[in-house]
Structure 1
Amino acid sequence: MNPYLAEFIGTAILILLGNGVVANVVLKQSKGQNGDWMVITTGWGLGVAMAVYSVGRISGAHLNPAVTVALASIGDFSWSQVPGYILAQIAGGATGATLVWLTYLAHWAETDDKAGKLACFSTAPTIRKTGPALITEIIGTAMLVFGVLAIGKIGAGIPAAELEALGNVPPLLQALVATWWSPLLVGLLVVSIGLSLGGPTGYAINPARDLGPRIAHQLLPIAGKGGSDWRYAWVPIIAPLIGGVAGAFLYRALFSA
């Protein structure tokens, strides 16, 4: 499979399962209505793990422009592939969000909360202060990228012959996607970030996770929807890119040897 197609499919899976659990909790007359934050963070973590299992051996399962740019910044991924990966991730995010809309098609009109409907697609801060929101997203994404690379290091020691088959996977991610348990640990990392750091902003920590679904929210004929909150949209784009690069350089500084 083409790695760009893999990134598209993987990100679509990520958003389908991640935003799907939000819709399950938020939308009226859903079986999961009024579930709590633990349900949402668990659903997101499992969605991340399944996406990595699905395409990790093909593209490295970046599934996130912050990861892609971070790896390129430390020389572990070609800058020439960055635009294609990012476009695939954003398109995958929009597609996954569209599938969530279709899955819960009967529930949008039953739900009066316009902000809740938007939350099934993209993120928003609980307190409207740009500076704190930026800081939250930077810290959360730095932890994500640092943690992903650290998990990959734990899996080091995979036989060289097996790693040679992972031609499209950046070297720092090869050990991660070559083990059965590493994607699960990445999912648990996302659960941990959501439980510990996700309260202020909803932990986008991924520009494609927020931008792709926000575009879908803007374009889809969602019953009774409100605005797509484009005034905030730049924060979950810029902050994760900064945080991802910071997390990658911190990892490189500590483990360069």
Structure 2
Amino acid sequence: PIGHSLSPLIHGAWIAAAGLDADYRAFEPADAAAFAALVAQGRAGRLRGLNVTAPFKEQALALALADAVSETARACGSANLLIFEAGQVRADSTDGPGLMAALAEQASQLAVRGREVVVLGAGGAARAAVAALIAAGARVGVLNRTRARAGILAEDLGASVVEADALGAAVLVVNALSVPPEIPMSRLRDDAVLMDMTYRPLETAFLAEGRARGLATVDGLAMLIGQARPSFHALFGRDPPAVDVRALALAALGETP
């Protein structure tokens, strides 16, 4: 449910601090036709841009194909950002940069170039993660219950399909599943980093188990804020002002900083 999104809180805080004449609000199109109508409003000049979440990311890319699509969005096969200019729509994906920003913030000791990384899942979130990590030089393995689906993702992006035994060599394990994964923490390296792409709850069972094992963890809120920064720049042509939006988001989640 988009009404639960923290993005309006984050962008709203930046907008207020920057003194911009702007409004960032949640829309909730009921279906594909309603989403297409929302994009049509953008083409007509009534919207500057949209951040897009599931289940409309693939449709967002398709609606922009006739105009302009970034290489990142093409690699991801989806778009989470649409910018409208003079009747045209430009599609991009900031999910991958958000993931890398989260890793830099909460696992600064981690270096993935030339090293083994495992991404759990083979959906849209996993695709964005795999594309970003491959661009960063990692050797990425995709672990998914349905091997055929993992194979399609791996072939598209230059990753490999792996089994659970690959976890033992991974310096990073990213959960891109919508359900808690069942991972034997005892198999992981002592210096492995765990990342979960969801932020509700902030500390998922996956991250809690990793912490209990003594592993470094990266939460989905860091990624949410990380992907919001380039979105804000694309929308307003400037970097976000220095506001502690994580503290605001934690308060909204009922978490302590």
Length-normalised TM-score, structure 1: 0.26
Question: Which structure features the higher share of strand residues?
Answer: 2
Of structures 1 and 2, the one scoring higher in RCO (CA 8 A, sep 6+) is 1
Question: Which structure features the higher share of helix residues?
Answer: 1
